[in-house]
Amino acid sequence: MKILLIAVNARYIHSNPAVFSLKACTGIYNSYVDIIEFTINQSPSYLLQDIYKKQPDVAAFSCYIWNRTILDAVIPDLHKILPKTDFWAGGPEVSYNAQEMIDRWQLRGIMTGPGEGSFSYLVSSYVNGTADSLPAILNQTNTVRLSLNEIPFWYGGYEARDTTTGHTSNTKDAGTDNADNDIQREKDLADFTNRIIYYESSRGCPFSCSYCLSSIDKTMDFLPVERVCRELDFFLEQKVPQVKFTDRTFNCKKDHALPVLRHILEHDNGITNFHFEIAADLLDEEYFAVLRQLRPGAVQLEIGIQSTCPETIAAIDRKMDFAKVADVVRQISRWHNIHIHLDLIAGLPFEDLCTFRNSFNDVYALQPQQLQLGFLKVLKGSAMERRSLQYDLVYTGLPPYEVLSTKWLSYEDICRLKQVEEVLEIYYNSGQFAHTLAFLCGHFDTPFAMYESLAHWYEEHALFGIQSSRLKKYETILAFGAACIENKEQIEAYEKSRQISLLTEYVTYDLYLREHVKNRPSFAASLETWKDIIHGILHREAEAHELFPQLADSGYRDLTKILHVEVFTSIFDTPRAVLFSYEKRDPLTNNCQTVHLDISRQSVLSIKK
């Protein structure tokens, strides 16, 4: 009996925790189950061939909005080449219209809701020859319900519960620390090198946001803190680059979240980053006491603001004190150790273009490291879907069921916001243009007005849809900014020239903060006048190594290759030589280390690490 679990991820760096969790729960039947992962960027033909080679007796698909389209193409053809195989599916994309999907894909059945108990029951039924009696729709009412604590840690050495006997067992001697177990864990984890590892410490959500499927089931289930910390230790020992918690609101239960954060603080390995989705207005001084001590880059916090329009917040059944959220974000930002990701959703009820602009400007003012401008997805089974007629929601017929228009936003408005989203991603969320954007914002009434104008520039110059080089993006923002300044009638010619010089230096500064470019960009000012000063700075550093002691083994010739020296005469109070060292980068901004020298006095002004 061969049972194949199939995951189709959005990107290679993503892993699918669901299929590993399902396999881990099959206990003594674990050896009958295999896992195969693909991405949506691979062709249907490739998926067909690889699944066919496995020759499964049973194939089960993990279904989401991002892989529904490719599964629509693959599953009907699999029936043709594997006519004796039973096909099952599970996941949110098939759970709320199960019978429709059974008919559409000619499935043997669908597992709805939390699937570990159902899948374990399914596997034992096939192995024991009783699969013919399985109902077409499996769920926790007609199979087995497992609490989150009964679901094993799914990396090697599975400690799984056999749902037919209630006995915890495994061929790998679960729960022991023998060498075979360690080797198996290392082997399993090797499959996740350079990939995001998803981890679940709680299920459910206490909130009732109408656009979210988590609002349907009010049940909350938490892993014991001791187990969470023990399993995080495994990731820390293996120096996993990133662990992303899938908890919908990680900090909804303080006596669960706070001890986990304390454990991360006390056991930090200097490498692993942990990502949490939180409700910022639930944070208090006890949380702050831990968060402010974390290593820069150890933690990322994702905060879903979605809108700052009170009427919209009420309409989506959401509770949020934006003033408190803003205070929390500003406080955390001052510590400069935690990456903050803020979310907005366009297309929500009662939010037109004007009120969305206000929401954007409110959130932009908080200056997060990431500002995600997303668009409403009208998910099957959600309260938003039930209210779609009330709100005149028009959305795509295929996944991801994204909004096309509402009672308050036309399709033309959505198109404009899509363009704003694209330039926001290129320029703000890349983190590569921070000083340039801050300068340009001063030339517009609001941040949204600047991005709207930049999007219009992109459209006018046919830049959307073109894969530009990094240097081209710097050239584009410079051309856009210079044109905006030139078009200001109230500014005199001399001031326009001065402002464009400032803009050019900011663009140059941002470029060298990120890029050790070999060929000098055409827009950067000539360094010929400063050549002797630059050589003098490098010679002194080669002798004394005062500015970059970590480069003490580097001579003058080596330093000319490792460091870049740029002179700025406009953007600082006095002319400065800035030394850019690419050996060390800021974990939040990814900017290189810099040292500023006042070349009018030849003395060190500051060292920025």
- Euclidean distance between CA atoms 360 and 304, whole angstroms: 13
Which residues have C-beta within 8 Å of that of residue 194, sequence separation ≥ 6? 13, 241
| pLDDT score at 522 | 95
How far, CA to CA in Å, does 68 sit from each of 49, 63, 64, 93? Answer: 19, 6, 6, 7
- Count other C-beta atoms under 10 Å from residue 229's C-beta: 19
**Which residues are 345's β-sheet partners?**
374
Helix axes of 434-441 and 493-514: crossing angle, nearest 10 degrees: 160
Among 5-14, 26-35, 437-446, which is the least confidently predicted range? 5-14
Mean pLDDT of 342-358: 98
pLDDT band at 113 (very low <50, low <70, confident <90, very high): confident
Letter for the amino acid at 508?
T
* pLDDT of the residue at 166: 35
- Using an 8 Å Cβ cutoff, are 35 and 8 in contact? no
pLDDT for res 410:
98
Say if residue 271's pLDDT is above 60: yes
- Around Cβ 354, how many Cβ atoms within 10 Å? 9
Alpha-carbon distance values, 274 to 14, 232, 283 (Å): 15, 10, 17
What is the mean pLDDT of the segment spanning 479-492? 94
How many residues can be counted in the chain? 609
DSSP structure string for 539-589: HHHHHH--S-GGGTT--HHHHHHHEEEEEESSSSSS-EEEEEEEEEE-TTT
Rounded CA-CA distance 275/13 in Å is: 15
| Confidence (pLDDT) at 238 | 87
Q: What per-residue confidence (pLDDT) applies to 169?
A: 33
What per-residue confidence (pLDDT) applies to 194?
67
Per cent of the chain over pLDDT 90 is 80
8 Å CB contact between 473 and 427: yes
Tokens, residue 568: 């700025």
* CA dist list (Å): 301 to 224, 244, 578: 22, 10, 32
Q: What pLDDT does residue 11 have?
A: 85
Residue 218 has pLDDT above 80, yes or no: no
Mean pLDDT of the chain: 90
Q: How far is CA 40 from CA 11, 47, 95, 466, in A?
A: 7, 10, 21, 22
Helices (H), 344-443: 353-364, 383-386, 411-423, 434-441
Between 394 and 609, the higher pLDDT residue: 394
pLDDT of residue 191: 58
Q: How far is CA 207 from the centre of its chain?
A: 22
Residue whose token pair is 């959505």:
414
What pLDDT, in 10s, does the model give residues 118-173?
Answer: 999 999 999 999 999 999 999 988 888 888 888 886 543 333 333 333 333 333 33
Per-residue pLDDT at 460: 97
pLDDT at residue 192, as a whole number: 60
Coil vs helix vs strand at 223: coil
Mean pLDDT of 54-83: 97
Whether residue 276 is predicted with pLDDT greater than 60 in this model: the reply is yes
Pair of tokens at residue 396: 């795509």
- Encode burial over 442-465: b for 16+ CB neighbours within 10 A, e otherwise: ebeeebbebbbbbbebbeeeebee
Cis check for the bond before 400: say yes or no (omega within 30 of 0).
yes
- pLDDT of 101 strictly over 60: yes
Short-list 277, 270, 275, CA closest to 237: 270
pLDDT at 195: 72
Mean pLDDT of 259-277: 97
Residue pLDDT, tens place only, 503-562: 999 999 999 999 999 899 999 999 999 999 999 999 999 999 999 999 999 999 999 999
